[in-house]
Amino acid sequence: MRRLSHAPKVGVRQLASSSRFRTAGCLITEGIHMRTSRTLRRVAIVASAGLLASGGLVAGTLPAYAGHGPGYGHGQGKGPGHGHGHGHGHGHGKGKTLPEAVKVNKVIDHLEAFQAIADANGGNRQSGTPGYEAAAEYVESKLRKAGYDPVRQPFTYDQFVEGSTTFEQVSPTALPYVVGTEFDVVEYSGAGDIAAPIEAVDVNLEGDRASTSGCEAEDFEGFTAGSIALVQRGTCDFRVKVENAAAAGAVAAVIFNQGNGEDRSGLLLATLATPQVSIPTVGTTYALGETLALASAQEEVTVRVAVEATTRTVETFNVIADTRKGNPDKTVVVGGHLDGVAEGPGINDNASGSAAILETAIQLANSKGTPQNRVRFAFWGGEEDGLIGSTHYVEQLTEAEIQQHSANLNFDMVGSPNFVRFVYDGDGDAFGTAGPDGSAEIEALFTEWFASQGLASAPTEFSGRSDYKAFIDAGIPAGGLFSGAEGIKTEEEAAVFGGTAGEAYDACYHSECDTIENVNVEALDQFSDAIAHATASYADVKKHPGKGKGWGHGKGHGKGKAHPHPWHHSFGKHDGR
């Protein structure tokens, strides 16, 4: 999962006034999560080539969410209704459902392979490195063994490369600041070593701290050219703030966190997106920004911002594999990013999502069931550099192909040690920003699946931090799951989901310690089940006649409940493995 490039809505509501956590009967809300560690990310595609061997990219209208909960299937008694009975109803038979077939120990096997690959390749699987190539080869080999024909979709982009960074107060008192704690470079910062007076721009340090600081050129009226601009997070993209500052004559920029909530008080780590801006830029905590704003209002405060940074051209690729059967006019893309950050092996972020998707693909092929809708499994490259692979994929589609896509299911971080079962807020009822039509049904599919298993879930915002972004920007319905990154678990969340309040969902996010020991197996198991359930639901799998293996037609009188959507399939009560 990448850094933020903008200021999305957040807000942790009070338990008494909200019911955002979804359980079998209880709710609360959560805010979105910011990045907390340096990485070489956020990039631009400068060239691309290569058509998928499988041909055009296709799909169709989004179906409603699939059946869920206990019961054997749809329909009652004998006849063609879906049921565990005679006729043509689709029931369990003696075979397994896809969630039952996707075993967590197999997912862990893939994680161990990704860990070994990172260990053998400089400690990471970053795009454009031997570690990424080896990870892709592993995925391709497993897909081929399962009967898929994986293909590579190549692309080229500029990758941000950070050197040393310094931020310090020069006068009236010399005071160094701590990188990684009080400040950090903003990705795609310009390079330079600047010492100059700092000047606050339209900041708001009171009340709810609503901020539009730096979002308009007018905010810089009276700004002294040759100064360093101090701007506050809020409302617009960080790049807009920095470009407005540069246009007003700022020689560097300091962006401090907004301070309007627990999730907007700590260290601000962000990206400006490519290309590099013209002035050095760092992000800070709210506390440091507030201190500088108040001090500079009383007397001249001189600070130094020094950033060493450049970009390099990276050639990499996505790995894509289609089911052999299924309507190509109703393709659902099931994806997650395969790359990791430079700082570590990236096992939770996002080997966990890749492993769960890979095992789902394998078991779907092994089931011998026939998807009525084509499933395209996608392992994206360049996500940590700015969602590059998924953006490239969508940008290559014609308008007709975009209209054919049914949905994108995105899985980025599904094994956080201090996890919450976050589901993307497709209907917008929690954060006010809905996905394209059909996204609400995807959200409902996940929340109702978790509820059917007796598990709580909570909404998380479509903040644009993961690979679904290009899909929703193109109007393609999207949704997915997320177990939490650097955000801090609240007391309310700990009461509902367990774990430790006041600590990060994943304290090893984007760091060297994101190893296989960092993964919560309970979370991985539960999320893998949900991924398998959603994949089978949108694939609309039909079963072949069989005796116990695969997903054959059940024998005996139907026991399932009738359902208004005849294409739905219920997967029954999970066995709790």
Single-letter residue type at 251:
V
Rounded to the nearest 10 degrees, the angle between the axes of helix 104-120 and helix 352-366 is 130
Q: Verify that 331 and 359 share a domain, yes or no.
A: yes
Alpha carbons 217 and 119: distance in angstroms, whole number: 48
Is residue 423 within 8 Å of residue 23, measured between CB atoms? no
Q: How far is CA 28 from CA 252, 460, 463, in A?
A: 41, 11, 19
Q: In tens digits, what is the pLDDT along the chain, a chain of 577 residues?
A: 766 665 443 332 222 233 344 433 332 222 223 333 333 332 333 333 333 333 333 222 222 223 333 232 333 333 333 333 333 333 334 468 999 999 999 999 999 999 999 999 999 999 999 999 999 999 999 999 999 999 999 999 999 999 999 999 999 999 999 998 999 999 999 999 999 999 999 999 998 898 999 999 999 999 999 999 999 999 899 999 999 999 999 999 999 999 987 778 889 988 898 789 999 999 999 999 999 999 999 999 999 999 999 999 999 999 999 999 999 999 999 999 999 999 999 999 999 999 999 999 999 999 978 999 999 999 999 999 889 999 999 999 999 999 999 999 999 999 999 999 999 999 999 988 899 999 999 999 999 999 999 999 999 988 888 999 999 999 999 999 999 998 889 999 999 999 999 999 999 999 999 999 999 999 999 999 999 999 999 999 765 433 333 333 333 333 333 332 222 222 222 223 3
- Spatial neighbors of 102 by CB under 8 A, at least 6 apart, are 356, 359, 360, 363, 528, 529, 531, 532
Which pLDDT belongs to residue 556?
34
Strand partners, 121: none
Q: Verify that 382 and 522 share a domain, yes or no.
A: yes
Q: For residue 166, count CB atoms less than 10 angstroms from its CB and return exposed for 0-12, middle for 13-18, buried for 19 or more.
A: middle
User: Do the domain assignments include residue 66?
Assistant: no
Our CA angle for 368, 372, 378, nearest 5°, is 80
User: Do the domain assignments include residue 135?
Assistant: yes
User: Which of 300, 325, 341 marks a domain boundary?
Assistant: 300
Helices (H), 299-413: 352-366, 388-395, 399-404
Alpha carbons 47 and 100: distance in angstroms, whole number: 43
Using DSSP's 3-state secondary structure scheme, residue 329 falls into: strand
User: Do the domain assignments include residue 42?
Assistant: yes
Q: Verify that 249 and 320 share a domain, yes or no.
A: no
User: Which of 300, 334, 351 marks a domain boundary?
Assistant: 300
User: Do the domain assignments include residue 565?
Assistant: no
Q: For residue 208, count CB atoms less than 10 angstroms from its CB and return exposed for 0-12, middle for 13-18, buried for 19 or more.
A: exposed
Is residue 293 within 8 Å of residue 209, measured between CB atoms? no
Q: Verify that 153 and 179 share a domain, yes or no.
A: no
Which pLDDT belongs to residue 372?
96
The residues annotated with a catalytic role in the active site are 383
- Residue indicated by tokens 């029931």: 91
Tokens of 224: 């002294």
* Of 390, 545, 550, residue with least CA distance to 471: 390
Alpha carbons 356 and 272: distance in angstroms, whole number: 31
* Of 498, 316, 508, residue with least CA distance to 419: 498
- Spatial neighbors of 447 by CB under 8 A, at least 6 apart, are 22, 423, 457
- Residue indicated by tokens 């005679």: 86
- Spatial neighbors of 252 by CB under 8 A, at least 6 apart, are 192, 194, 196, 228, 229, 279, 280, 281, 305
Q: Verify that 125 and 233 share a domain, yes or no.
A: no
Phi, psi dihedrals of residue 332, rounded to the nearest 5°: -110, 130
Q: Verify that 131 and 182 share a domain, yes or no.
A: no
| CATH number (domain holding residue 186) | 3.50.30.30
Q: Verify that 51 and 132 share a domain, yes or no.
A: yes
User: Strand locations in 53-92, DSSP E?
Assistant: none
Q: Verify that 358 and 426 share a domain, yes or no.
A: yes
User: Do the domain assignments include residue 202?
Assistant: yes
HSE toward the beta carbon, residue 348, CA cutoff 13 A: 30
Strands 405-411 and 327-337: parallel
Using DSSP's 3-state secondary structure scheme, residue 318 falls into: strand
Which pLDDT belongs to residue 567?
25
What secondary structure, in 3-state letters, does 117-180 show?
A: HHHHCCCCCCCCCHHHHHHHHHHHHHHHHCCCCCEEEEEEEEEEEEEEEEEEEEECCCEECCEC
User: Do the domain assignments include residue 8?
Assistant: no
What's the DSSP call for residue 543?
P
Q: Verify that 277 and 391 share a domain, yes or no.
A: no
Neighbours of 184 (CB within 10 A): 26
Instruction: Mark residue 574 as left, alpha or beta (left: phi above 0; alpha: psi -120 to 50; beta: remaining).
Output: beta
pTM of the model: 0.76
- Spatial neighbors of 438 by CB under 8 A, at least 6 apart, are 61, 62, 406, 407, 477
Supply the range of the domain harboring residue 468: 15-61+94-157+314-542
Q: For residue 559, count CB atoms less than 10 angstroms from its CB and return exposed for 0-12, middle for 13-18, buried for 19 or more.
A: middle
User: Do the domain assignments include residue 2?
Assistant: no
Which pLDDT belongs to residue 273?
80
Q: For residue 241, count CB atoms less than 10 angstroms from its CB and return exposed for 0-12, middle for 13-18, buried for 19 or more.
A: buried
Q: Verify that 494 and 348 share a domain, yes or no.
A: yes
What's the DSSP call for residue 489?
P
Single-letter residue type at 524:
L
User: Do the domain assignments include residue 547?
Assistant: no
Which pLDDT belongs to residue 22?
44
Which pLDDT belongs to residue 543?
56
Tokens of 185: 């470079």
Alpha carbons 422 and 424: distance in angstroms, whole number: 7
Which pLDDT belongs to residue 554?
34
Judge if the upstream peptide bond of residue 350 is cis by omega within 30 degrees of 0.
Answer: yes
Which pLDDT belongs to residue 269?
82
- Residue indicated by tokens 């079962």: 421
Q: Verify that 145 and 177 share a domain, yes or no.
A: no
Is residue 126 within 8 Å of residue 342, measured between CB atoms? yes
Q: How many domains does the chain divide into?
A: 2
Alpha carbons 533 and 514: distance in angstroms, whole number: 27
Using DSSP's 3-state secondary structure scheme, residue 495 falls into: helix
Q: Verify that 55 and 151 share a domain, yes or no.
A: yes
| CATH number (domain holding residue 402) | 3.40.630.10
User: Which of 244, 271, 300 marks a domain boundary?
Assistant: 300
Q: For residue 105, count CB atoms less than 10 angstroms from its CB and return exposed for 0-12, middle for 13-18, buried for 19 or more.
A: exposed
Strand partners, 229: 199, 253
